[in-house]
């Protein structure tokens, strides 16, 4: 009898572990020609993924416009640039826009930037609640000198938004750097420590400006 009870306990534990493994959030890359027609976006696609979680079937699309001429500007050299991130939840043939990120630089006559930071977009489930955390990191700037860019990490979990804002770090001479600092918003400060730790590591890994 004792052996049977032990076997049942071990079987139950193993089953729970397997169930947990099967419910892991696994994002899959979507090729450009495979993005459903009902998913609307502006700009050139930089990344697109899908996954399933407690919210259902999800799609996130990241886009950039690149530089384009500013309309009705006093300067012939002025350009605009923008970036977008879209989170759609699918239900059959219907799609619902859950949230959208839109950031931009307008009327810039010098160097302009509105770009996602390479190799930073990610889907996680750090708090193991079955709802994906969607991480987006990008920089924006209009400058004609060696100065930091505005840098942001925006994370969404469901309808909740978490923001980390600051500047990247640039080397101005052999011993001096500018930028690199950041602040968390209230949702980040009040949220799980795992969110802040992930954000800090992501920031530190990509804080230094890489000149291309």
Instruction: Please check whether residue 85 is in contact with residue 152, taking contact to mean a CB–CB distance below 8 angstroms.
Output: no
Q: Give me the pLDDT at residue 21, please.
A: 38
Cβ burial of 178 (10 Å; 0-12, 13-18, 19+) is middle
| pLDDT on residue 3 | 53
Nearest to 151 by CA among 174, 189, 178, 123: 178
Distance CA 79, CA 175 (A): 34
How high is the pLDDT of residue 16?
34
Ranges of the chain whose pLDDT falls below 70: 1-23, 211-212
What count of other Cβ atoms lies within 10 Å of the Cβ of residue 135? 20
Task: Output the pLDDT for position 84.
Answer: 99
Query: What's the distance, CA 93 to chain centroid?
Result: 26
Block residue for tokens 């009705």: 72
Residue 23, pLDDT score: 59
pLDDT of residue 175: 86
Quote the pTM value.
0.87
Task: Please classify residue 161 by burial: count the beta carbons closer than 10 Å to its beta carbon, then call 0-12 exposed, 13-18 middle and 19+ buried.
Answer: middle
pLDDT recorded at residue 184:
99
Query: 178: Cβ–Cβ under 8 A, 6 or more apart, which residues?
Result: 147, 148, 167, 169, 170, 172
The token duo for 4 is 């049977």
């Amino acid at each position: 009898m004792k052996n049977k009870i032990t076997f049942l306990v071990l079987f139950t534990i193993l089953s729970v572990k397997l169930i947990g493994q099967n419910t892991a959030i696994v994002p899959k890359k979507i090729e450009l020609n495979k993005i459903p027609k009902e998913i609307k976006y502006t700009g050139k696609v930089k990344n697109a993924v899908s996954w399933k979680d407690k919210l259902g079937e999800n799609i996130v699309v990241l886009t950039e416009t690149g530089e384009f001429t500013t309309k009705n500007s006093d300067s012939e050299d002025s350009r605009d640039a923008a970036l977008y991130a879209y989170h759609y939840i699918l239900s059959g043939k219907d799609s619902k826009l859950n949230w959208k990120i839109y950031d931009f630089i307008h009327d810039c006559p010098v160097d302009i930037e509105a770009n996602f930071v390479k190799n930073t977009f990610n889907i996680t489930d750090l708090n193991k609640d079955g709802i994906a955390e969607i991480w987006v990191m990008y920089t924006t700037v209009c400058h004609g000198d060696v100065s930091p860019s505005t840098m942001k990490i925006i994370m969404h979990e469901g309808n909740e938004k978490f923001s980390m804002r600051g500047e990247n770090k640039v080397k101005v001479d052999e011993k001096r750097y500018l930028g690199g600092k950041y602040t968390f918003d209230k949702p980040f400060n009040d949220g799980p420590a795992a969110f802040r730790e992930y954000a800090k590591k992501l920031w530190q890994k990509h804080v230094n400006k890489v000149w291309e």
